[in-house]
Structure 1
């Protein structure tokens, strides 16, 4: 349910469970974390999904069994954020719940026009993953972070672009091509230089 392809230094990681809105099981999260942790030699890493939803967050049955409180969500975000290469979330559709963390951990976020963004963690009786509020706040500011985490608002792609939550809106058939185009300079550059520039840009 997690597909990995490698071409010209770009690792493309695809969540492939469209019949369940790409909801994430513990095994899927562990596989994503393993891939992210092993991608030290990648020139760029692109996260995307199959179908009309990037990810609806946790699988409902596993969430009820404790997945919602698992540290694996944070482990995944930390692994992505620690990568020395450029990381891009190519959001093929709606991004919801705990899946927000992996996108927030990426350097850049692209999304299709009909994507929506929401993180109803408080309504469900949970705290967000530890690093998510700070990363979200760095992108959209404190008030808009509260709008999402406390107000439970669904944010459209247009609003997300205005907020700074995403960096570009792309048509579905151009999403991955756009991501690879953005990564082209990093693919061609010295990886050490890429890593140093990325570190200089860290907050």
Structure 2
């Protein structure tokens, strides 16, 4: 359900559960967290993407009812991505929802297709968001817009997400991989200390 690839210095995780809107089970989340942890010190570029029309709808419903919605594995995953010294890119092939927000917020760059929607309906569902997600979201789009998404439960489209600063580019689906390659080129060519040093200076 997740395809893990190591193509030279590019480490890629592709969520492949389109029949379930790429919803994430506990097993999938732990595998993603392990992959991101392993990539530290090895990858020069780390890419998250999905298949189908949805990047991820968040937690698998059955697993959510069993406690996944409040499981610390979400925070372990986003923390592992945020700790990467390499360039991390969320290539959002479609809609991003719920707890899946955390892994995208933890990436350095977020690019999305025009049809993508963005929502995080924890207020409606009666859960708190994962601990680091509101701070990362606020750092990108400010407190008021973060509250609109998290507390107002508003769904926004790609253009609004771009205008807010939640995503960095809107890219046609057929151009998604080319854009990832273009954004990755300088990081792949740079010495390790320069790549990690510039990233650390941008925090």
TM-score bracket for the superposition, by shorter chain length: over 0.9
1:126 aligns with 2:113: no
Residue 62 of structure 1 corresponds to 63
Deviation at residue 171 of structure 1 after TM alignment: 0.4
- The residue aligned with 2:6 is 6
Instruction: Name the Cα RMSD after superposition.
Output: 0.6
Task: Supply the distance in 2 between the matched residues of 1:33 and 1:67 (Cα, whole angstroms).
Answer: 14
TM-score by length of 1: 0.98
C-alpha separation between the residues in 2 aligned to 1:122 and 1:95?
A: 16
Number of residue-to-residue matches in the alignment: 202
Structure 1 equivalent of residue 44 of structure 2: 43
* Unaligned 5+ runs, structure 2: none
> What does residue range 104-115 of structure 1 map to in structure 2 within 5 Å?
104-115=105-116
Partner of 1:180: 181
Kindly report which structure 2 residues correspond to 1:79-118, keeping only aligned pairs within 5 A, or say none: 79-118=80-119
**Cα separation, 2, equivalents of 1:176 and 1:70:** 32
In 1, the alpha carbon distance for the partners of 2:28 and 2:163 equals: 32
CA distance in 2, matches of 1:181, 1:165: 20
Task: Report the 3-state secondary structure (helix = DSSP H, G, I; strand = E; otherwise coil) of the residue aligned with 2:6.
Answer: strand
Relative to structure 2, which stretch is displaced further, 5-14 or 111-120? Answer: 5-14
- For residues 78 and 180 of structure 1, the distance between their equivalents in structure 2, rounded to whole angstroms, comes to 24
Q: Distance in 2 between matches of 1:119 and 1:165?
A: 13
Task: Give the superposition deviation at 1:142.
Answer: 0.6
Q: Which residue of 2 aligns with 1:31?
A: 31
Equivalence for 2:197: 196
1:122 alignment partner, SS class: helix
Name the structure 2 match of 1:165: 166
Q: Which residue of 1 aligns with 2:155?
A: 154
The residue number in structure 2 matching 1:15 is: 15
